[in-house]
Amino acid sequence: MAEINEQQILEALSGVKDPETGEDIVSAGMVAGVQLKDGHVAFAIEVDPTRGAQLEPLRKEAEQIVHALPGVLTATVVLTAERAGSQAKTAPPSPPAQTPSGQPGDQPGGAAKAAQMIPGCKSIIAVASGKGGVGKSTTATNLALGLAASGKKVGLMDADIYGPSMPRMMGITGQPVSDDGKTLRPMANYGIKVMSIGFLVDEDTPMIWRGPMVQSALEQMMRDVNWGELDVLVVDMPPGTGDAQLTMAQRVPLTGAVIVSTPQDIALLDARKGLNMFRKVDVPVFGIIENMSYFTCPHCGERSEIFAHGGAKAEAERLGCDFLGEIPLDIEIRTTSDGGHPITVSQPDGAHAKSYKFIAETVWNKIEQTLTARESDAPRIVIQ
Ligand code: ADP
């Protein structure tokens, strides 16, 4: 069968009309980012964010029309608020206010906002990295499980929208259900609640997620999921330090952030970019975790430092933030995490689980310190 091309897709879409203006969505310049790969088609329809919900039928219609074209196997259409997003660039939203000074007029800090966004959630921490493939998701998972091992109520949210891996790492299949038709019940395994865009979208589905789209997906996963009582929500951020990550760091009411990096990553200064991103938006960085720090030979047990080991510790010192710990490059970490049985729960008494639990304890202490500092900074109502 002949390959479908962009022209044919646009022709088909020129029959879809914006119900408000009556103009077709192609002439109106609303169709963007058409992507084609082996019969899989994906594109975005750019809309005013205020019309998002009411344009769902339009999105569906466009999707059905393209799906019906010969040679199309799947069609994925998303509504994006890209236009509004680019306008927003000229007038960026104000960063989340931290209240170190406690000056009158300060906005509530991250903890208060966390409770506003997710009632019952005491704190939210981001696990971030300067680039992909450094073991950020593995670390986020084991950190969350380490926190749960010490009795905390933990949620894990996969915001790595470009490559959601939590369903696989947490060994969860199926889809979340809604009890009330309004909010989704999070999935759960190993004693923690988990939400990932990967539960809702097939792993093979091509997706176009632009900055504003990422943001709304993230906010939905926070607001429209019934998280219940949580001591901490661990957010696995998308890798990198681009606009999408910055917006996320700015809008999600983070109590703090943890940066995961490998020794090479440190050498390339990628971790520093991550750190600076959070500092820019006044989110406290709790520290750096060095992953794949050294290699332990599974046969002879000899430790090899493939990349200059210890760089993260030195870099953390240089940057004035804490070094939270190091995790070796170990095949067992990879197989357990990729197989859905993270090492912190599958080998809870092993050395790696102990390292993750130790890091989790340090992170928890920092969360508590931050919450206490904010509480004492918050304006008090004094009854005389
Ligand atoms: P990221 O989230 O940064 O893209 P992942 O957590 O998905 O990275 O990890 C990438 C790959 O590296 C996965 O296959 C994972 O199992 C593996 N991995 C992560 N950390 C380690 C480690 N310390 N030792 C061995 N393999 C690891």
Residue spans per domain, the chain: 6-88, 108-377
Q: Which of 50-54, 65-69, 231-235 has the lowest mean pLDDT?
A: 50-54
Q: Do domains 6-88 and 108-377 have the same CATH topology?
A: no
Residues 6+ apart with CB under 8 A from 206: 35, 37, 40, 41, 42, 74, 76
Instruction: Please indicate whether residue 333, judged by its CB atom, sits closer than 6 Å to ligand 1.
Output: yes
What pLDDT is attached to residue 285? Answer: 93
For residue 162, what pLDDT is reported? 73
* pLDDT for the residue 72: 84
- The residues, ordered by sequence, that sit 6+ positions from 208 with a Cβ below 8 Å of its Cβ are 33, 35, 42, 43, 44, 76, 78, 80
| Ligand 1 atom closest to Cα of residue 129 | 3
Could you name the CATH architecture of 6-88? 2-Layer Sandwich (3.30)
| Ligand 1 pocket test target in 139, 337, 359 with most atoms within 8 Å of CB | 337
Q: What is the DSSP letter of 153?
A: -
The Å distance, Cα 80 to ligand 1 centre, comes to 31
Q: What is the pLDDT of residues 267-304, one digit of tens each?
A: 666 778 888 889 888 899 999 999 987 777 777 777 77
> How large a percentage of the chain has pLDDT more than 90?
40
pTM, to two decimals? 0.72
Give the residue-averaged pLDDT of 256-263.
Answer: 91
Residue 85 pLDDT greater than 60, yes or no: no
Q: Assess contact for 311 and 305: CB atoms under 8 A.
A: no
289 C-alpha to ligand 1 centroid (Å):
13
CATH code, residues 108-377: 3.40.50.300
Report the chain's mean pLDDT, rounded to a whole number.
81
How close is the Cα of 230 to the center of ligand 1, in Å? 26
pLDDT digits over 8-51, tens only? 999 999 999 999 899 999 999 999 878 777 777 888 888 877 77
Ligand 1 atom 16: the closest Cα is on which residue? 334
- Residue whose Cα lies nearest atom 22 of ligand 1: it is 329
- Cα(135) to ligand 1 centroid in Å equals 4
Render pLDDT for 176-198 as a digit per residue (tens, 0 to 9).
Answer: 888 887 888 999 999 999 999 88
Give the pLDDT of residue 204.
61
Q: Kindly provide the residue ranges of all beta strands, DSSP E only, lying in 100-253, ordered along the sequence.
A: 124-128, 154-158, 187-189, 192-196, 232-236
pLDDT at 84: 39
Distance from the alpha carbon of residue 334 to the mean position of ligand 1, in angstroms:
6
Chain centroid to CA 29: 30
pLDDT at 91: 29
138 lines ligand 1 (CB under 6 A): yes
DSSP 283: P
Q: Give the residue, by CA position, lying nearest to ligand 1 atom 19.
A: 135
Cα 108 to middle of ligand 1, angstroms = 36
d(Cα 237, Cα 127) in Å, to the nearest integer? 6
Query: Which pLDDT tens digit goes with each residue over 106-164?
Result: 333 455 555 567 888 999 999 999 888 889 999 999 999 999 999 999 999 998 877 78
Burial 31-56 (b: 16+ CB within 10 A, else e): beebebeeebbbbbbbbebeebeebe
Q: Residues 6 or more apart from 89 whose CB is under 8 A from it? A: none
pLDDT in tens, 330-349: 889 999 999 999 999 999 99
Structure tokens at 237: 């951020």
Whether ligand 1 lies within 6 angstroms of the CB of 326 is answered as no
pLDDT of residue 45: 85
Where residue 75 falls among pLDDT bands split at 50, 70, 90?
A: confident
pLDDT at 374 over 50: yes
CB of 261 sitting under 6 A from ligand 1: no
